[in-house]
A and B are shown apart, each in its own frame.
Chain A
Amino acid sequence: MRFVATIAGAALLIAAGIGASPLAAAEIAQDQRRSGYDFMTPDTQAIQNDDTANPGMLWVLDGEALWNNKTGAAGKACGDCHEDARAGMKGVAARYPAFDKALGRPVNLEQRINLCRVKHQQTTALAYESRDLLALSAFVAQQSRGDAIVAGADPQLEPFVARGRELFMQRQGQVNLGCANCHDDNWDKRLAGSAITQAHPTGYPLYRLEWQSLGSLQRRMRACMTGVRAQAYDYGAPELVELELYLMFRARGMPMDSPAVRP
């Protein structure tokens, strides 16, 4: 009997070690939520704290120039409709992805910028992760610094938040891990020396020292999917936007810190 108990104990330990215990899948309590910022070393935090040291600000400055740049057949700049971004764009990034009536589904900030470009500026959509699109989204997101995230508050978004949550819980890939297995169950541990964070996307688009560049939340999510050896969804795929929406919904109430710096 004791032998059986030992095996059972060992099996439990193994299960806990790889985060596969079915009992552990619980969402993080509201008062225990932390931004990725809190997981960083003081050195990396110092880069983000100082706007003249934060490389993300290079994209913000580019974005400000693009904001005022007349383009397309309509000959309009973003600023011609939205006026001063500092007032007009405040809090906007904090409520994206938002429901688009014409499409009948949520769109993220990058998609909104591209919809505006095609519809109102009558020009071409910018490629995902292109410098110009990152610059514009960084400039818009920076206006929401310190604002509480309110994404997912729109009742029309409910089914999409639910689908995003399903994908978050869904095990996938050859490694057979869901997002929740790391980011809900094991966020207080480390993976290959790096902190496992809680997946609260407060600072996107953000500068990752590993990327040596600014990058979007979708880039980050796709990298995680490749990490569990799943086939990552294409940029802009509805599934990826739903997941993005769910992540922002999880972080509701937390302050934005775009453009953040992460290791």
Chain B
Amino acid sequence: MASALINVPKKAKRGEVIEIKTLMSHIMETGYRRTATGDVIPRDIITSFTCRYNGAEIFRADLFPAIAANPFIAFFTVATESGKFDFEWVGDRGFTETASASITVE
């Protein structure tokens, strides 16, 4: 099942500032809610998001219970060389998801 939507420009000029948009499917259960019978619904959130550009980390974010379901994270970077962006989401209950996208820099 598809779980991530990534938007990275396919091509960019060297030195150009590009926007990277990511959307990850996740319920982001806060851990503060209770069921009708009063039991706490255990926390189940994404805790960390990382983006690597040809192996080098260029962006990292810590996520917390106040963040809505299906977190959308967008950020900017400078296109320096052709290659690959690797994305990684890590969360509670052993949640890990990865995705990647390539870019051609001219």
Q: Is the CB of A52 within 8 A of B21?
A: yes
* Additional A-B contact list (5), CB under 8 Å, known A51-B5, A65-B2: A52-B6, A55-B25, A212-B28, A212-B68, A212-B70
Q: Does B105 lie at the interface of the complex (its beta carbon under 8 Å from any beta carbon of A)?
A: no
Q: Is the CB of A52 within 8 A of B7?
A: yes
Residues of B within 8 A of A52 (CB): 5-7, 21, 23
Q: Is the CB of A62 within 8 A of B1?
A: yes
Q: Is the CB of A58 within 8 A of B5?
A: yes
Say yes or no: A53-B72 contact (C-beta < 8 A), given A61-B2, A62-B2. Answer: yes
Q: Is the CB of A57 within 8 A of B5?
A: yes
How many chain A residues touch the partner (CB < 8 A)?
15
For chain A residues 6-59, which have a beta carbon within 8 Å of chain B? 47, 50-53, 55, 57-58
Contact with B along A64-77 (1 / 0, CB 8 A): 11000000000000
Q: Does B103 lie at the interface of the complex (its beta carbon under 8 Å from any beta carbon of A)?
A: no
Complex CA–CA separation, A52 to B68 (angstroms): 17
Q: Does A116 lie at the interface of the complex (its beta carbon under 8 Å from any beta carbon of B)?
A: no
Measured CB to CB, the nearest residue on chain A to B8 is: A52
Q: Does B69 lie at the interface of the complex (its beta carbon under 8 Å from any beta carbon of A)?
A: yes
Q: Is the CB of A58 within 8 A of B69?
A: no
Complex CA–CA separation, A212 to B69 (angstroms): 6
* B1 interface neighbour in A47, A65, A212, Cβ under 8 Å: A65
Distance between A182 CB and nearest chain B CB, rounded to angstroms: 27
Q: Does A156 lie at the interface of the complex (its beta carbon under 8 Å from any beta carbon of B)?
A: no
Q: Does A172 lie at the interface of the complex (its beta carbon under 8 Å from any beta carbon of B)?
A: no
Q: Does A213 lie at the interface of the complex (its beta carbon under 8 Å from any beta carbon of B)?
A: yes
Q: Does B77 lie at the interface of the complex (its beta carbon under 8 Å from any beta carbon of A)?
A: no
